[in-house]
Amino acid sequence: MSDAAEPAVLTERRDGVLVITINRPEVRNAVNGAVAQGIAEALDTLDAEQDLQLGILTGAGGFFCAGMDLGAFVRGESPWFGDRGFAGIAQRSARKPLIAAIEGFAVAGGFEVALACDLIVAAEGAKLGIPEAKRSLVAAGGALLHLPKRMPYHAVMELALTGDPWPAERFHALGVVNRLAAPGSAVDEALALAAAIVRNGPLALAASKEIVQRQFDWSAAEQWAKQGEIAGPVMTSADAKEGASAFKEKRDPVWQGK
């Protein structure tokens, strides 16, 4: 069990990456008020600090997250935090890219936390699912909103209506999980994926994420204009000129984030 004095959420900086760890293994990293606040504050740090380009969200103790801490909820603790919503992430994630690194399982609200991230790395054999219907509850933390955009209709319905978890391998085949990792190495695999991302221009990363996420709300008539509003400042930035110069001069670019 973790020391009660330890923070519910730990952070570590690693070469431009902020590793965020839910640190309540004694309750399978269930989300209480402290976890929601800790994740929200970590995302605030990620978005605010220029030397951080990407976040990795994971769990301590060999598993990701079991969802809402029902005991804490009964005691009056809220697993929502500000406008970020459930677990400090479900309704408003980070502006910068996020990778979920899953060991063991990510179920119920825990899976919804993972779905609030932009990429998912999962250990082979990890179980992912939304079992809420088994308790006459609804997966209202984002799963029923995100999954229909990422999986075939009938697959989403099976997952939601049976409540049965699926192995990471099935989600990988459906494209929901980006990479599979050997058990115990999900964070290492996520760091390898992060290394391929953080070398790119930070303005381009944030703009690309925003366009991909927001385009579902744009009509065909407005999508090019809306994309231009986001991409235009990046295309005329100092970093864009630096990227072109570095390519021409066969050297690594030096990004300034402006």
Entry field: residues in the chain: 258
The residues, any chain, with a CB within 8 Å of residue 146's CB and separated by 6 or more, are 112, 115, 116
Residues tagged active-site: 112, 132
Joined together, the tokens standing for residue 201 give 């221009």
Gap between the Cα atoms of 81 and 171, Å rounded: 29
**Is the distance from CB of 101 to CB of 62 less than 8 angstroms?**
no
**Residue 234: how many CA atoms within 13 Å on its side-chain side?**
19
Give the relative orientation of helices 202-214 and 238-249 as an angle to the nearest 10 degrees. Answer: 120
In the chain, how long is the greatest CA-to-CA distance?
A: 61
